[in-house]
Structure 1
């Protein structure tokens, strides 16, 4: 058994916290829209690791837990009146805006959690397991595949019907401006770059801050209030 398979970080506590939070969001809350998407992703990932079908269950569980904890830290910061990371601020600031549609909330949350949180979670996991990002590539791809499935479900469940969503609808332009696959590729590159910069803490910190701001800027655009 390899070192990656020996190290296990249970996600039971993360799932319990997320399930408890699910019942606390008020009706119409944009954070709740994303939260339910993320809960479904985490539960799906946990079911797959529990079946033993993954070759590196310890690495998969460690990455899942660290990834989820970054979102929960943002929730805590907002609840306590502190500033969450820049990538999350648009979602928390506009969570009750009547001009933002549920699909926008869900995709903006995915953008923040994928573009920023997952890159940092890969680096966190590499430090914990004393491995390189290349050793976690299968786990990273698994998370990306799960997000792809969830994005399809989000679009199916929250996309307006074809009679309502026409080519001139502003929502059409917003949706076409963001690609999960491109975001996923950028996240993997960011994780590898941060790992390469680990011995240059000042540069790594600057890179992390700029990544956070860039992902937050994209999220702000995705949450542009639209006429109904």
Structure 2
């Protein structure tokens, strides 16, 4: 056996899983038409996860395994929706607007991207925190730093969406409906609500019926917001 292979350190499972998630998203990026609404979200989310992988690899996180675990649990929820929809199953309410309007000619790329972030932050992230706590055997408070990191990363992503996917700022007049839509949703407010929801769901883990009711209501509310973001212009 070559010397480099014999003494190569094992790849942590969470990091290997992150590589697998990225590979699946790259496959989607290559397979979907660029203007497809799911492709628009997938593209910007893939860029964010690549940045997260680089930071994990450079040791910029105090708890890199926790960081990778939360990233993977979150991305897996999105990919599970994509897989289910491809099999003809109905997406959750929070993702339904994006899949329903993904080819609508009156919806602009920034709307698709923000609708995906709305579903992912407003619904999936709270459940991913619970998933990660179960995987790591910890409490939500132990992941608060990683939660904030994910929020900061997606905040940068939101800024990139507004800068790169919107038309020339001079064209975004106050009367432009897109201006109003982009200003109607706040990532910061969504993050605050999601953290409270994650802590509540963890506290309710021994009351599965109550936790499921809360999850269903959250799903519906986030889906309503997504439908507004995808109003054809």
User: Structure 1 length normalisation: TM-score?
Assistant: 0.94
Matches within 5 A, 1:70-85: 70-85=77-92
The residue number in structure 2 matching 1:4 is none
The residue number in structure 1 matching 2:155 is 148
Superposed structure 1 runs of 4+ greater than 6 Å apart = none
Question: Helix, strand or coil: the match of 2:93?
Answer: coil
1:9 aligns with 2:50: no
2:117 is aligned, of 99, 110, 128, to 110
Please identify the structure whose Cα radius of gyration is greater: 2
The residue number in structure 1 matching 2:199 is 192
1:178 aligns with 2:185: yes
Matches within 5 A, 1:1-228: 8-10=13-15, 11-226=18-233
Report if aligned partners of 1:165, 1:172 keep a CA contact under 8 Å in 2. Answer: yes
Instruction: Give the Cα separation in 1 of the matches to 2:65 and 2:170.
Output: 47
Instruction: Give the Cα separation in 2 of the matches to 1:99 and 1:197.
Output: 41
Instruction: Give the Cα separation in 1 of the matches to 2:131 and 2:170.
Output: 45
Unpaired stretches in structure 1, ≥5 consecutive residues = 1-6
Report if aligned partners of 1:8, 1:61 keep a CA contact under 8 Å in 2. Answer: no
Report if aligned partners of 2:34, 2:40 keep a CA contact under 8 Å in 1. Answer: no
1:86-140 deviation per Cα after TM superposition (whole angstroms, max 9, x unaligned): 1111000000000000010010001111111111000001111111100000100
Question: Helix, strand or coil: the match of 1:163?
Answer: helix
1:184-225 deviation per Cα after TM superposition (whole angstroms, max 9, x unaligned): 111111101111111111000000011111111100000000
Over the aligned positions, Cα root-mean-square deviation in angstroms equals 1.0
| Matched positions, count | 220
Report if aligned partners of 1:119, 1:190 keep a CA contact under 8 Å in 2. Answer: yes
Q: CA deviation at 1:8?
A: 4.6
Instruction: Give the Cα separation in 1 of the matches to 2:39 and 2:22.
Output: 15
Instruction: Give the Cα separation in 1 of the matches to 2:72 and 2:124.
Output: 12
The residue number in structure 1 matching 2:9 is none
1:131-190 deviation per Cα after TM superposition (whole angstroms, max 9, x unaligned): 110000010011011001111111001112233211111111111110111111111111
User: Structure 2 length normalisation: TM-score?
Assistant: 0.92
